[in-house]
Structure 1
Amino acid sequence: MISKRIRELSAYKTETTPCKVKLSSNELPIRFPEEVKKRIKEVVSSIPFNRYPDPQATELKEIIALRFGVHPENVVLGNGSDELIQYLSISIGELNKGVIYPIPTFPMYGICASALGREKIEVPLQEDFDLDLEEFLSVIKEKAPAIAFFSYPNNPTGNCFSEEKIRRIREEKVFSVLDEAYYHFSGKTFLKEALSREDTVVLRTLSKIGLAGLRVGILIAKEEIAREINKVRLPFNITYPSQVIAKVMLEEFYFLIEEHVSMVIRERERIMKELSKLEGVKTYPSDANFFLFSTAYPADLVHKELVKEEVLVRDVSYLPGLKGCLRVSLGFPEENDAFLEALQKVLKRLC
C-alpha cells in the first residue's frame, strides 16, 4: 500500500507547452561551437558503458572544487540539487523536527519534507519579498525546526534575502541551507561561512550555467559535515556521461560559460529597462537569470496570449503573494526581443 503521506503529495510540475521561444525554465542560453561538440563526442565515445562510473566522481569533484575555490573534501555531488535537498532533509535533525522555509520559493523543499513525513513550516515573505524576521523567530520559538532552506537568490522572486536576517535566524540553532543555484548571476554567497561553520551549507548547480541536461548538483560544506551527508548519497549517482562531459566543459570551455553568463546579466538590465517603458507593466528587482513582471491584466490570460505568439513564460500568479505575476527567463538577445514584441502585441490586443 502507498503511504498516506505519498498519496497526499503533489508532484513537482514544470512548464512543457511547446513554443518557439522558451523562457520558462531559467536555463542558460548557450550554443555550443563545433569544437565543443567534437570534443564531447570524443570523450563520450571512450566511455566503457558496461562499467559503473567512478562512485566518487573524483575528477569532476576536483575541477568543481577548483572552480569554486574549495577543496574536494568540501564537496558532495548530487543528481541535480534536488537530490541534495533530499539528502539534507534526511540527514539534518530528527524526522520529527520540522523544515522551515519562506514562501513562495522553490517547491522541492516542501516536497522533500512531505515525502519524509517532516512538518513543513512555511513563512510568507514580506511585500518586498524579503524575509519576515519577526514571524520567522516567532515560529521557530514555537515549533523548533531543525533545518531552514533559503533560495538565494530566491526562485521565483529573483531577489537575495537580507544576509543579516538569515544570520539572525541561524542564531536560533537552525541548520541553514543556502541554495545558491543562481550564484553566477548574483555574485552573492555564504560560501566562507559554509566552509567554517557546522550549521551552514551552500548548494550550487551546473544546471543554471548551461549544463542542465547533465543533472549535476553541488553541496559545499565544512569537511566534517560533507563527510556525514555523503553517507546517504546513493551509489553511482553521477552518471559516466555527466562526469566526463561536465569535466570537459569546466576544464576546457569554462570561458564559454562565463561569456554567456555575462550576456544574460547584460540582457537582464536591458530587458527590464525596456519593460519599464511599457504602460501598466511592473518589473521586480532581480539578482538571477529571470525576473518577475506583472501587467494590468490577469496573469493567466497574458500567459495564454503569449503562448499564441509562440513565447513561453511561467505563470506564477497562483503562488502566495504573487497575484498577477509572471516569471520570464533571460534568453539570447533575439529571444528576449521576441518576448518584448510579443508582450507589446498582447497588451495592445487586451486593451
Structure 2
Amino acid sequence: MISGRVRGLSPYRTETTPCKVKLSSNELPVKFPEEVKRKIGEAVSSIPFNRYPDPKAQELREIIAERFGVSPENIVLGNGSDELIQYLSVSVGELKEGVVYPVPTFPMYGICASTLGREKFEVPLQEDFDLDLQGFLKVIREKRPALAFFSYPNNPTGNCFDEEKIKKIRNEGVFTVLDEAYYSFSGKTFLADAVQREDTVVLRTLSKVGLAGLRVGILIAEEEVAKELNKVRLPFNITYPSQVIAKLMLTEFYHVIEEHVKMVIEERERLMAELCKMDGVKVYPSHANFFLFKTPYPAGLVHGELIKEGVLVRDVSHLPGLEGCLRVTVGFPEENDAFLFALQKVLRRL
C-alpha cells in the first residue's frame, strides 16, 4: 500500500561510524563552560513538561529577529532546516511544476521534491564548483520549474556561488531559496533581498553554531510570504526544551558561540594550509566550517584507513564531480592536529 514514489526513495545518509575524532557532520566544536551548563539545567528543570510549548515560539522569534536585524513577522521556525525545505517544497508553485538545484549539493532538496512527486532538474556544477549559468537558464526556460534551491556556501563543496549568477537565474521567474546554513563562517548573505522580495527566502539554522541537538531551523522571508508559509507549519514544531535553551544561548551566552565560530574560521585556514604542504594533496577553497580535499589514492581507501586511526571524515567521492574527494569538518585544534597526524600516517602507509 506504500506509494511507489516512496518505495523508490533512498533515505538521507549520514556517517555514524564510532571514532575518537569525529569530523564528518559539520558540527561546531563547542566546550560549554560550567556556568552555561548550570543555567541550562536550571532553565530546563523549570519547564512544565505536561504542557505544550508556545506554538508560535514568539519569544524565540523575537530574539532571532533582533539578532538578524529583521521583524519577527519575517521569520518562520522549523524543526531544523530540513522541515523548512519540506514546507517550501509543498508550498511554492504547483506540485506538477519542478524543482531545480545544482549537483552536488545538500541532498534534502531532492529528497523533499521526490516525496511530493515533483520533477527534479539537477544541473551539474562547473569544474570550479560554481554554477553553470547557461545550464540553469536552459532548464528554466525549457522546463519552467517553480522553485530553485542554492546552498550558500554549498555543501559539500564549501564555496559560495557567484552572486550575479544567482540573480540572473532568479530573474527568470523562479522562486529562489538561499540556504545559508553556514553563514556564520562566510558572512555572505541574501538577507536584504529576502525581507523585501516575494521571490526570495533565506534559510539559517542553529545546528551549525553549536546547537545541532535543538533542531531549530530559521526561514526569513518578506512578511506576506512568511505568513503564507506559516500555514503549512506543523503545530508545536519547536519543542519546549529547544525554545528555552535557544533563548538562553542567543542572549546571555551568545558570546560563547561567537568565540567558537571565530576559532573554527582561524583553524580552517591553518588546517587547509597544513594540508597544502602534504605531497599530492589538493585542497579546495571554502567559506564554510568544512572543506574538500583529495589525495593521490582512492577516497574510500583513505577514508577506511583514517577510521583505523580513529578519525572520521566524510567520503563524498560518490557524488557527481567529486571523484576522489573527502570532506573534513574543522574541529578543535587538538582534533585537527589528530587528523593531520593520522592523514600523514595513512599517506606514508599507502
Secondary structure of the 1:50 match is coil
Structure 2 residues without counterparts, runs of 5 or longer: none
Question: Hey, what does 2:116 align to over in structure 1?
Answer: 116
| Count of matched residue pairs | 350
Separation (CA, whole Å) in 2 of partners of 1:35 and 1:133? 50
**1:287 aligns to 2:287 (yes or no):** yes
Secondary structure of the 2:338 match is helix
Runs (4+) of structure 1 moved beyond 6 Å? none
Question: Hey, what does 2:65 align to over in structure 1?
Answer: 65
Deviation at 1:262, TM superposition (A): 0.3
Separation (CA, whole Å) in 2 of partners of 1:80 and 1:149? 16
State, as a whole percentage, how many aligned pairs show the same letter. Answer: 79
Secondary structure of the 2:77 match is strand
Question: Hey, what does 2:249 align to over in structure 1?
Answer: 249
Question: Hey, what does 1:213 align to over in structure 2?
Answer: 213
Secondary structure of the 1:38 match is helix
Secondary structure of the 1:102 match is strand
Letter in 1 for 2:60: L
Structure 1 residues without counterparts, runs of 5 or longer: none
Question: Hey, what does 2:331 align to over in structure 1?
Answer: 331
Separation (CA, whole Å) in 2 of partners of 1:139 and 1:73? 34
CA displacement, residues 220-267 of structure 1 (integer Å, 9 cap, x when unaligned) = 000000000000000000000000000000010000000000000000
Question: Hey, what does 1:223 align to over in structure 2?
Answer: 223
Secondary structure of the 1:231 match is helix
**1:3 aligns to 2:3 (yes or no):** yes
CA displacement, residues 301-348 of structure 1 (integer Å, 9 cap, x when unaligned) = 000000000000000000000000000000000000000000000000
CA displacement, residues 87-121 of structure 1 (integer Å, 9 cap, x when unaligned) = 00000000000000000000000000000000010
Deviation at 1:168, TM superposition (A): 0.1
Letter in 2 for 1:23: L
Letter in 2 for 1:94: E
Question: Hey, what does 1:155 align to over in structure 2?
Answer: 155
Separation (CA, whole Å) in 2 of partners of 1:30 and 1:56? 29
Deviation at 1:167, TM superposition (A): 0.1
Question: Hey, what does 1:194 align to over in structure 2?
Answer: 194
Q: TM-score, normalised by structure 1?
A: 0.99
Letter in 1 for 2:347: L
Separation (CA, whole Å) in 2 of partners of 1:341 and 1:111? 37
Letter in 2 for 1:252: E
Question: Hey, what does 1:260 align to over in structure 2?
Answer: 260
Separation (CA, whole Å) in 1 of partners of 2:71 and 2:339? 42
Separation (CA, whole Å) in 2 of partners of 1:11 and 1:143? 27
Q: TM-score, normalised by structure 2?
A: 1.00
Deviation at 1:57, TM superposition (A): 0.3
Separation (CA, whole Å) in 1 of partners of 2:162 and 2:14? 29
